Amino acid sequence: MSMERRKIGILTGGGDCAGLNPAIKWAVKTALDARLAAERGTQFEVLGIYNGWEGLMYLDPAMPEDPQFVVPLTEELVRTWDRYGGTNLGSSRANPYNPKHDLSGVVLENIKNLGLDSLIVIGGEDTLGVASKLSSAGVGIVGIPKTIDKDLPGTDYTLGFETALNVIVECVDRLRTTAGSHRRVFVVETMGRHAGWLALEGGESSGAYIILIPECDFSIERVNDLILEGNRSGARYEIVIVAEGAKPEGCTEFVRSNRVDSFGHHTLGGVADFVAKAIEDGTGLETRSMVLSHLQRGGVPCAFDRRMGRYFGIAAADLVVDKDFGKMVAVTHGEICAIPLHQALGPPHLVNINTQYDTVRYNGRRTILGHRA
Ligand code: F6P
């Protein structure tokens, strides 16, 4: 029996995180597995594309094998990848559809030149937004959701989130001992952009006293009242977690600079310094701030990200095999499934402050099964 031959490209785009390498490994292993190949009657080749969309934007169509931009992926090469953080394929925030410098034509030409009949794209809203446009242009796209922000709609999980949570918990545990020794308040800034998941679930997991999220503008007077209340009831120190996108009532979010990336995003940051100063001024308690920043994206993937990377990678390869394109793998109610790509690009999935947050205590909900008015 003659084998059908097909070629898959795979890339990781946007902010890196733990869980990308496991997803790459399992997509590759599933595509190349000899037993599966015999069952399918299809022999796949997998080509890794370096640095997200950049690889396809800057590869010279006359030199399609250029090792600066592409690498053939074999089972042997990816064997140990699930143990490593970041992405061994590199990443970037390059946007082929950047209106100031549109290179989408080059990307389409390179996909054709490389003989790719499908592309597995691992990314968040920006990277998958590009993937969706390429899908409309006829490219066989399969998406895998990743972002520590966990804000993609249509999936209950995005790769990288749990590892980032573990970093937050470990850092807060470390801060607690020194905060306690010195009777200080610590304000810890998490990432998450416009979504409060990292701050909320990081704060719940680490037992923070106050959690401030972008979905609920906060009153600094209320924060100070809560801190003084805790102090009066004998707390030696307090931990306040604030999401980078959180803001005081009547204010706009804190940005690090006016520079925007090729998708039009500002770099957020600075709210923890503001809150720490406001607490110290308002309560007289010594207060320090700490920005966790990219520590949340670093380190080895936790067990959950390795497992979810594995499931997502396998499911993505399954979709490619079936030529079931224009989809993103997802997880809902504990089951791995596939949703139309455009569903993952709707309004972001944010914290529901009516059911998942306590707007009086500025903390996680304190009623789960109880009656709500
Ligand atoms: O989207 C992931 C994320 O880590 C956000 O939480 C954060 O605002 C942003 O990326 C930071 O991006 P960069 O690494 O480009 O500064």
Q: Which two tokens stand for residue 179?
A: 């905060």
Give the domain CATH number at 267: 3.40.50.460
Does residue 148 line the site of ligand 1, with CB under 6 A? yes
For residues 327-343, b (16+ Cβ closer than 10 Å) or e, as one string?
bbbbbeeeebebbebbe
Q: Report the greatest alpha carbon distance in the chain.
A: 80
**Could you tell me if 204 and 324 lie in one domain?**
no
By the 8 A CB rule, do 10 and 73 touch?
Answer: yes
How many structural domains comprise the chain? Answer: 2
Same domain, yes or no: 127 and 237? no
Residue 141 has pLDDT above 70, yes or no: yes
Q: Does a structural domain hold residue 20?
A: yes
Same domain flag for 150 and 189 = no
Structure tokens at 27: 């997509």
Name the residue range of residue 82's domain: 4-159+301-345
DSSP-derived secondary structure for 201-258? HHHHHHT-SEEE-TTS-B-HHHHHHHHHHHHHTT-S-EEEEEETT--BTT-PPPEEEE
CATH code at position 11: 3.40.50.450
Helices (H), the chain: 20-32, 34-40, 53-58, 75-78, 104-113, 125-136, 161-182, 197-206, 220-232, 271-283, 303-321
Distance, in Å, from the CA atom of 28 to the CA atom of 249, rounded to the nearest integer, reads: 48
> Does ligand 1 come within 6 angstroms of the Cβ of 149?
yes
Confirm or reject: Cβ of 296 under 6 Å from ligand 1.
no
Domain-ending residue, one of 232, 264, 298: 298
Residues 226-235: pLDDT tens digits?
Answer: 999 999 999 9
pLDDT at 373 over 60: no
**pLDDT tens-place string over residues 167-218:** 999 999 999 999 999 999 999 999 999 999 999 999 999 999 999 999 999 9
Instruction: Specify the pLDDT at position 64.
Output: 87
Ligand 1 atom 16, closest CA: 267
Q: Are residues 47 and 113 in the same domain?
A: yes
Active site residues: 149
> In the beta sheet, which residues pair with residue 11?
121
Q: In the predicted model, what is the mean pLDDT of residues 325-350?
A: 97
pLDDT at 157: 98
Q: How far apart are CA 326 and CA 72, in angstroms?
A: 24
Q: What is the pLDDT of residues 11-36, one digit of tens each?
A: 999 999 999 999 999 999 999 999 99
